[in-house]
Structures are given as structure tokens and as C-alpha cells.
Structure 1
Amino acid sequence: MKIFYFTATGNNLYVAKRIGGESYSIPKLMKLGQFEFEDDKIGIVFPSYYGGVPKIVEEFLNKVKLKSKYIFAVVSFGSLSGAVIPELLVIGKRNQIQFSYINEILMVDNYLPVFDMAKEMKKEPKKKIEESLAQIINDIQVKKVYIKRHAAVIRSIEAILKKVHSKNKANTEYDKNFYVEDTCNSCKVCEKVCPVNNINVDTKPVYKGNCEQCLACINHCPQNAIRLKQEKSKARFINKNVKLKEIIEANN
């Protein structure tokens, strides 16, 4: 089994590791130009961004050639997953990728402009992450055929969320919302965790206008020196089951 994942704060790397098999970082494969894979089972693990598929994941799916009779996807989200599954199905159809299984997993929402991370982390036990993950793992082991469908009340707002997602996905200058405080010590962690090589550090981080909006740079800054306009708190989130060196390895 092969699993392709995209992670910023570690949630989806953790999910990929728990599912098992061989794990491959999508940003790394994009940089290496490796796009042909075959296995009995193949999975895609990634977060929902603005209720949709992250730009880098869509770009990967547009390029990759997957040969498997069982292709699955697991999408993490923090509050509303939005229209991510309908969008994923469209992307899959366009690229001759037939999904047998797509499911979602509720995890800590780490989108700083909307959520206070100190409060969100306190909610983690209520999200029953391990229970949900255990069910997903079992489903994949037995090759369950299942596509998550939302209730009518959720589907009614998917069109709105889709428009928001499309607008934000196209915003490559999102990094203009970042600013760096004087506590920065030029450690270059932000540069190393960026999945799209959008940051150069000499004395302070310089953003190059190709932001993936993953917020890895902010959440992993050891000095908490990178700030985001309109962030709800100074608290940051990193999945406790994943080490910084794993994120750096995944995104380089």
C-alpha cells in the first residue's frame, strides 16, 4: 500500500502513518517529478482548505498516474469540510482516477484567522480522533467501498464554500498577511518547512508570493516570531505525534 500525503502541522502525516504502508510526501514528489505509481491499494491524505482541495494536492493529482484497483482518500478538517469531496471527485474524473473510498476525519482546526488555537486544542479530546481513525483504518483494510455524502443542509452551503475556496486558492499573494517580529533569530525553520519553497531567510523571512496558505511557517516558528494579520491568538498548533524533523523532511 502506498499513501501520498500533504501536511503542514502534522495532522495528515500522522493519519498517513497510522494507516500504514509506504508514505510519500506530495511536495517532495512534486519537486522530484515522480508521478507514476502502482500498488494493490493507493491512498491520498490531505487537509481541507477553505472547504476544498489544496492547490498543491490538485496539481499533484493533475500529474500523477496511479495504477490500483483500490484508490482511497482521507480528508482532515476542523469544523466544516465544505465541498472538498465533490471537488475531489471532479478532479479524479478529469484525471482518470477512480476513487473507491473517500472519508473525512475531524481534527484540530488550525486556521489562525478564524480560530483561537488555545481554545481549539482544548476541544481535541471531544473530536474522538482516534476512534474515527480506527474506523477508517478498518475500512481500508477490508477495502470498503464508500464515498462520504453530506446531509442536505450541508450540501446547501457547499456552493458558497466552493466560491470562497476558488477565490482563496487563486490568491498567491496571501503571504502579504504575514509579518515578522524582532524576536526572529534567523533559524530558518520557516524556510525548511515551507512545502513550496516560498521563503528565503537571510536575517528575517522573505516571502516570494507563491504561498500555499498552509501556515506551516507560523506554527513551527520556535520563537513565535511570525505573525498573521487578524489572527485570533498567539497560540500555535503542531500535532503532538509528529516531530519537526519529519515535517522538514516531508516538505523538502
Structure 2
Amino acid sequence: MKLFYFTATGNSLYVAKRIGGELYSIPQMIKEGNYEFEDDAIGFVYPCHGFGMARLVNDFVKKSKLKADYFFAIMTYGGKSASGLHQMERVAAEAGIRFNYTNEILMVDNFLLTFKIEDEIQNKDPKEIEERIHQIGEDIRSRKNHLIRKGIPSDVISKYGRRLADRLSYNFAYKRFQVNDNCNGCKICAQVCPANNIYVAEKPEFSHQCEVCFACIHLCPQNAIHLKSERSQARYINQNVKLKEIIDANHQGI
């Protein structure tokens, strides 16, 4: 079984590790130009972005040439998921992929414009998350057939919410991220950025292809990167994932 994942602060990577199989980072596959795979089962784990999926995930799925008897997709989310999984189905259909199983997992949300990280950590029950991951893993191992359906209103929210997110995201970091004097030029922000959107000379400089994943903000060791109008100065990384794992998954350097 092959499992493709995209992660920013560790939730989706942790889920992918728990489900098991051969893990492949989507940003790294894009970097390598590697889109052709075959196995008995192939899956995706990704976070909800704008009620859908991040551009990187969308682009990889569209270009992929995958062969399997069983396809599945798991979406992590923290607020509202709408029909993000149905969007994945529509995009995947363009690449000839027909899903057998889709599901979603409520986890800590890192979106600082909307959520206070302290509240997110307090309100999301680790036991419930573990039980959910375990059940989904069992479903996949037994090759269960099940597709999430939310109805037309949710489909519309995902369709237009993702379109809006696409329009706003490219310049998001360039316009809205700020770096304070805590920065020591360690370049961790550039190493965890999946979009190759950060250049560091003395301090980070942001370009115009942000994925709004907030990896750079949350994983900065000095808490030096901030978002205008952020609701929390607390930061988040999944406690079961190490910083090096996210660097290995997202680093676009040569």
C-alpha cells in the first residue's frame, strides 16, 4: 500500500504514519516530478484548506498516473470540513481515479486567523482522535467501501470557498506575515515551507506562492514570524511528529 500525504504542522503526517504503508510526501514527489505509481491500494492524507485541498495536493492529483484496486482519501480538519473530500473525488476523476473510501478526522486547527491554539489543544480530545484514526485504519485494512457525502449546500461551500482561497493565497505571506527581532536567521521557516516560498538571507523574505499552511509560523523555533490579526501567539506541532520529519517532507532545497 502506498500513501501520499501533505503536512504542515504534523497532523496529516501522523495520521499517515498510523495508517501505515509506504509513505510519500506530495511536495517531494512534485519536486522530483514523480507521478506514476502502482500498488494494490493507494491513498491520500491531507489537511482541509479553504473547505477543500491545498493547491499542491490538487496539482499532484491532477498530474498523477496511479493504478490500484483500492483508492482512499483521508482529510484532517479543525473547524468545518464542508465537502472537501468530494472535491478530492472530482479532481481525482480527471486523473482516472475512482475512490472506494473517504473519511475525515477532527484534529487541532492551526489557522491563526480564526482559532486560538490554546483553545484548540484543550478542546480536541486526543483519545477521540486516536479512536477515530484506529477505526479508519481498520476500515482501510478491511477494504471497506464508503464515501462521505455532505449534500449540495456543503458542495457549494467547498467549490466557492476553495476558489476564494486560491485567489487570496498566492500573496498571503508576502502581504500579511511579519518577522520580529527574535529571528536569528536559522532558515527553519524555509525548510518547512512546502511551496518554496521563503528565502532567508538575514531574515525571511516571502514570495508570491504561499499555500497558507502556516508551517513557517508554527515551527519557527524563535516564535519570530507572526500574522497580522492572529488570534494567538501560541504555536502548534503535532506531539507525535518531530520537526525533522516535516523538514524532510517539505524542504525544496537541492
Partner Cα separation in structure 1 for residue 52 and residue 205 of structure 2: 27
Report the counterpart of residue 15 of structure 2 in structure 1. Answer: 15
The alignment partner of 2:73 has SS state of: strand
The one-letter amino acid paired with 2:146 is: Y
Distance 2:248 2:157 in 1: 36
Q: Please list the CA deviations of residues 43-75 of structure 1 after superposition, one character each: whole Å capped at 9, or x if unmatched.
A: 110011111111100000011111101010000
- The question of whether the paired residues in 1 share the 8 Å contact of 2:49 and 2:162 is answered with yes
Q: TM-score when scaled to structure 2?
A: 0.95
* CA positional deviation for 1:161: 4.3
Q: How does 1:97-108 map to 2 (within 5 A)?
A: 97-108=97-108
**Residues 57-109 of structure 1: per-residue CA shift (max 9 Å, x gap):** 00000111111010100000102102212211110111111111011111111
Aligned residues: 249
Unaligned segments of structure 2, at least 5 residues: none
Superposed counterparts of 1:176-191, under 5 Å = 176-191=175-190
Deviation at 1:127, TM superposition (A): 7.2
- Structure 2 CA distance, aligned partners of 1:169 and 1:12? 21
Deviation string for 1:119-149 (max 9, x for gaps)?
1111121771001001100000000011012
- In the TM superposition, structure 1's runs of 4+ consecutive aligned residues that sit over 6 Å from their partners are none
Q: Which amino acid aligns with 2:156?
A: A
Please say which of residues 214-223 and 75-84 is displaced more in the overlay: 75-84
Whether the 8 Å CA contact 2:86–2:148 is kept in 1: the answer is: no
CA apart distance, 1:157: 4.4
Note the aligned Cα RMSD (angstroms).
1.2
Contact 2:180 2:225 survives alignment (8 Å)? yes
Kept after mapping to 1: 8 A contact 2:51/2:157 = no
In the other structure, the counterpart of 2:219 is 220
CA contact (8 A) 1:2 1:39 kept: yes
Q: Quote how far apart the aligned CAs of 1:226 are.
A: 0.2
* 1:11 CA displacement: 0.3
- Select which of 153, 156, 159 maps to 1:159: 156
Match of 1:196 in 2: 195
TM-score of the superposed pair, with normalisation by structure 1: 0.96
Could you say if the C-alpha distance between residues 246 and 126 of structure 1 is closer, same or farther in structure 2, counting changes exceeding 3 Å?
closer
Q: Is the Cα–Cα contact under 8 Å of residues 193 and 248 in structure 1 kept in the other structure?
A: yes
CA distance in 2, matches of 1:156, 1:110: 25
Query: Alignment partner of 1:44: what SS?
Result: strand
Instruction: Measure, in 2, the Cα distance between the counterparts of 1:38 and 1:15.
Output: 22
Partner secondary structure for residue 113 of structure 1: coil
**Where does residue 173 of structure 1 map in the other structure?**
171
Q: Distance in 2 between matches of 1:207 and 1:123?
A: 32
CA contact (8 A) 2:2 2:42 kept: yes
* Paired AA for residue 188 in structure 1: K
Q: Which residue of 1 aligns with 2:232?
A: 233
Structure 2: how far apart are the matches of 1:111 and 1:156? 23
